[in-house]
Amino acid sequence: MKILVCIKQVPDMESRFKVNGSGVWYEETDLAFRMNEYDEYAVEQAVQLKEQSGNTPDVTVLSIGPGRVVEVLKKALAMGCDRAVHIQDDEYYLKDSWQVASIISAYAKDKNFDMVFTGMQSQDRGSAQVGATVAEILGFSCATTLVSFAYGDNVITAKRELEGGLKSVIKLRLPAVVTCQLGLNTPRYPTLPNIMKAKKKEMLSHPVADFLKEGAHSVTEKFYPPAKKGGGILLEGDVNDMADRLVGILKEKTAVVR
């Protein structure tokens, strides 16, 4: 069995975002980057499937982006993926989700993958499109937003998460794309021996031009912070002063503190 996992490197969402020179994305300097949270579940599920299948499946992890994304590829290798593919693209933010999916599909097309794992969404762009679009281009079956995954006899049995805590149970045949939701599993921390082992694993690199065959369907015209709604009271400074003030505010504005 051959498995592909797609991961994106994204900034820590606690960062302060500044607009870059293009006006359509964030300035990368000063940002700390990490693996897209949803993709950690994708990597973990792929590695668990490999382990449960007598280690025979072969797991490739792929990421499109500038040089920095090698860091998350290394992490995925240390978590147990077999080889990494870096598709170099400094102008990744100018591609729309359709192009990202097309690039992934062009890479995957002739490699006979049986299963593709992606996150349900990226934390920075958050389009929740790439996984299902890859499935559509490759003609794979697809299920999104998985909170449970099991595989046997060429069939995936999965639970999708719906609103309000409801789940739907589905079965899908291979080849398939699945997109992973938070809580699907418990992503492992790479151990030191595995980090060392990962250094010997294959890290392939391709320019994005090798796989970019499609133009954009949409363009970002502007990237900006939302207008501040304001109205709220901002408390800053000494913890004890703030606690005193908050108690005063709660007494005045709510009926729950007297």
- Per CB under 6 A, residues contacting ligand AMP are 6-8, 36, 38-39, 42, 62-65, 92, 97, 100, 118-119, 121-122, 125-131
Nearest-approach distance from CB 243 to other proteins, in angstroms = 4
Closest separation in Å from C-beta 255 to other proteins = 6
Burial 136-172 (b: 16+ CB within 10 A, else e): ebbebebbbbbbebebeeeebebbbbeeeeeeeeeeb
- Interface with other proteins includes 162 (CB under 8 A)? yes
CB of 200 to other proteins, least distance (A): 32
157 touches 150 (CB < 8 A) = yes
Out of ligand AMP, ligand FAD, other proteins, none, what residue 232 binds, judged by CB under 5 to 8 A for its kind, is other proteins
The residue (of 109 and 253) whose beta carbon lies closer to other proteins is 253
Number of neighbours of residue 62 by Cβ within 10 angstroms: 25
- CB distance 38 to 123 below 8 Å: yes
**Amino acid making up residue 213:** K
Binding partner of residue 247 among other proteins, ligand FAD, ligand AMP, none, CB cut-off 5 to 8 Å per kind: other proteins
Q: Residue 174 carries which side chain, given as an amino acid letter?
A: L
Near other proteins by CB under 8 A: residue from 30, 136, 202, 210: 136
Strand partners, 146: 160, 180
